Structure 1
Amino acid sequence: MNWDDARVLLALGRAQTLRGAARVLHVDQATVGRRIAAIERALGSTLFLRTSTGYLLTEAGESAFEAAESMEAAATELVRRTQGLDKALSGEVRVTTTDFLAVDFVIPAIARVHAEHPDVRVVLTSSSQLLNLSRREADIAIRTQKPDNPDLIVRRLTRWPMCLFASQAYLDSHGMPEPGTAFRGHDLVAYEPYLSEGRALTLVGESASAGRIVAAVNSSMMVRTAVGAGLGLGELPLYIGERDGLVRIWPERERSKPYEVWMVTHEDLRHTARIRAVIEQVVQVFAEA
């Protein structure tokens, strides 16, 4: 099996559908299907079970998949080590972060990079999905979760208290909530992944059992936008709430867990000139905040 075949096997093994694999490989579904059939004929083994829900690896397919992953790791390491010696301030840098952090911090950093090094091209992926730096799905990740992979270089960019905010328009209409009332008579904006975990909603340590959730959203940007639009009370990082001109509720209270932002890159790539240039500007933008 050559590397091109391995890439097809890996893509289908991970996506489990022809459409998903085709999207990763930037080809059409029919091409993926033909390539898998050709690989199976060459190996003399059935690698995938075709089911109503997708393509599932057989026992032989799992063995081939593990071998393909080893090939991928070796190829990726070769690229990382080679790029780690690159001193040119040109070329592509792939950055992944959330939409919330992209708008306020990463895009301003990209603008600064472009002003100084116009031949550096940043490919920015705004998503809550955690891309794999070890497989070079991204060169730099800016996230709110700290990874524990020893091959990754991790730096904390900021640490903000999480506080309760509302718009002035909301408070003019509903008044201030009273502590100890579990937000009775008030509308709330909730972070939907928190609710999906089945935990009882609390805001800055106050039970929200008597409040009315009017919006459950799946990103910090959407919480920020909903609170700013006057939909209800919601938790936001202190810096962002104040920056947006929102009113802080119960200034003596904050969530027990702060909002932390981490920048992550692979050890082999941290000295690459173009990646270093992006890192430096991102650090500077957060430091100014």
Structure 2
Amino acid sequence: MTTPGHLDWSLLQAFVAVMRDGSLSAAALKLRLTQPTVGRQIRALEEAVGEALFDRTPQGLRPTDRATALFDHAAALEQAAQALGTAMGGKLDSPTGTVRITTSESFGVERLPGLLQPFMEANPGITIEMLASTQVENLLRRDADIAIRFARPEQPDLVARQVGTMELGFFAAESYLTRYGVPETLAELRNHRMVGFDRDPFARRAAERLALPVETWRAVYRSDSMIGQHTAVRAGLGIGVMHAHRDAPAQGLRRLLTAEFAPKQPIWLVAHADVRQGRRFRAVFDHLAAVLPAEFGGR
């Protein structure tokens, strides 16, 4: 029999989880273990105690009187371990709290959730709020904690790390090109139906930086929503600027004028200098810094 002084803490963790959740499968899910592993831990604890702690019934596991008597002590040890972890700077527990991330609508809706999924599985105490915005001022006003931006911020109170680049291109649906033809030069775009931004000042400044003569184009569909623009292009309403991606042909889209227009935007991970001192903010920032380079092809 194992003496109390040499009792494996993982056995008590399994015991507390089974007592609270009522089954090996539910406890395994909470502990991120397999059900057979939790079963072996319970049997090992029963051997250490010297008697059964659960009656195996068709309805599941039913705690014995000994298990009920031990539970309060085991739960108290669990709470003490959590408190110790907090006192040691969080080495034993995961960070908790809300982190607000701001980025473009299309990236925030289409890509960000998938990139965050493994992190949030490993850190169940973290809540993410996503703000779709292109304004860097969000961080200065503390409307958001972390930003993924397509231009380097110049404000001294912000820290930024380049995590890759994103290439832009002109795209149109094959259905549109069948009806209206394929432009051969940038100048010919003035004779085509275009999809573009409405009133977003950031988009207008971006167009100026890219030397795009948007004022000469015939914009038949305007939207400050990138998802709205992409949907309009896929529907064949006109030609639009989109982020280059490999699955464009599968969406019925063709890239145009590649030799004349293929600018690359640097992608920046940004945070207020003070925000990065918090555990949960730093954890999210570090995770994004690790996964975004693969998403955007490095620097």
Contact 2:200–2:224, Cα closer than 8 Å, also in 1: no
**Which of residues 145, 154, 164 in structure 2 aligns to 1:139?**
145
1:268 is matched with which residue: 264, 274, 296? 274
Residue aligning to 1:45: none
**In 1, Cα distance between equivalents of 2:203 and 2:132:** 23
SS class of match (1:177): coil
Deviation at 1:99, TM superposition (A): 0.9
Measured against aligned partners, the alpha-carbon deviations of 1:32-60 in whole angstroms (never above 9, x if no partner) come to xxxxxxxxxxxxxxxxxxxxxxxxxxxxx
- Cα distance in 1 between the residues matched to 2:168 and 2:122: 35
- Shifted more, 264-273 versus 240-249: the winner is 240-249
- After TM superposition, the structure 1 = structure 2 runs for residues 44-83 of structure 1, keeping only pairs within 5 Å, are none
The residue aligned with 2:179 is: 173
Given that residues 186 and 260 in structure 2 are in contact (C-alpha distance below 8 angstroms), is that contact kept between their aligned partners in structure 1?
no
Q: Distance in 2 between matches of 1:195 and 1:89?
A: 37
- AA partner of residue 108 (structure 2): A
Task: Tell me which residue corresponds to 2:156.
Answer: 150
Residue equivalent to 1:226: 232
How far apart are 1:265 and its partner, in Å?
0.9
- 1:117 shift after superposition: 0.7
Q: Quote the Cα distance in structure 2 between the aligned partners of 1:284 and 1:101.
A: 17
Matched, 1:102 2:108: yes
| Structure 1 position 192, deviation (Å) | 2.5
Partner of 2:289: 283
Asked if structure 2 preserves the Cα contact closer than 8 Å seen for 1:113 and 1:277, the reply is no
Q: 1:160 aligns with which of 141, 157, 166?
A: 166
Identity among equivalent pairs (%):
29
Distance 1:134 1:117 in 2: 27
Q: Tell me if structure 2 keeps the 8 A contact 1:165–1:241.
A: no
Return closer, same or farther for 1:274/1:208 CA change in 2, 3 Å cut-off: closer
Task: Say which SS state the counterpart of residue 155 (structure 1) adopts.
Answer: strand
Confirm or deny: 8 A CA contact 1:183 1:209 kept in the other structure. no
Tell me how far apart the structure 1 counterparts of residues 97 and 216 of structure 2 sit (CA, whole Å).
54
Partner AA of 2:149 in structure 1: R
For 1:238, the aligned partner's letter is A
Q: Contact 2:170/2:256 (CA < 8 Å) preserved in 1?
A: yes
**Does structure 1 conserve the Cα–Cα contact (< 8 Å) formed by 2:191 and 2:217?**
yes
| Partner amino acid, structure 2, of 1:265 | A
Stretches of structure 1 that go unaligned for 5 or more consecutive residues are: 1-84
Matched, 1:192 2:168: no
Cross-structure match for 1:30: none
**Could you tell me which amino acid in structure 1 is paired with residue 150 of structure 2?**
T
- Segments of structure 2 that go 5 or more residues without pairing to the other structure are 1-87
Count of residue correspondences: 203
Equivalent-residue separation in structure 1 for 2:216 and 2:274 (angstroms): 52
Rate the CA distance shift 1:240–1:134 in 2: closer, same or farther, 3 A: farther
Assess if the C-alpha contact under 8 Å between 2:196 and 2:221 holds in 1. yes
1:253 lines up with 2:246 in the alignment: no
Q: What is the rounded CA distance, in whole Å, between the counterparts of 1:145 and 1:194 in structure 2?
A: 15
Q: Describe the shift of the 1:157–1:243 C-alpha distance in structure 2 as closer, same or farther (beyond 3 A).
A: farther
Between the aligned partners of 2:100 and 2:203, the Cα distance in structure 1 is 31
The question of whether the paired residues in 2 share the 8 Å contact of 1:156 and 1:260 is answered with yes
Deviations 1:17-36 (A, max 9, x none): xxxxxxxxxxxxxxxxxxxx
Distance 1:205-1:86 versus aligned 2 partners, 3 A rule:
same
Q: Corresponding residue for 2:15?
A: none
Greater C-alpha radius of gyration = 2
* In structure 1, distance between residues paired with 2:276 and 2:250: 34
Distance 1:184 1:152, change over 3 A: closer
Report whether the alignment pairs 1:123 with 2:129.
yes
Residue 15 (structure 1) aligns with? none
Partners in 2 of 1:271 and 1:197 — Cα distance? Answer: 32
Whole-Å separation in 2 of the counterparts to 1:275 and 1:229: 40
Work out the CA distance in 1 between the residues paired with 2:212 and 2:95.
50
Contact 1:165–1:248, Cα closer than 8 Å, also in 2: yes
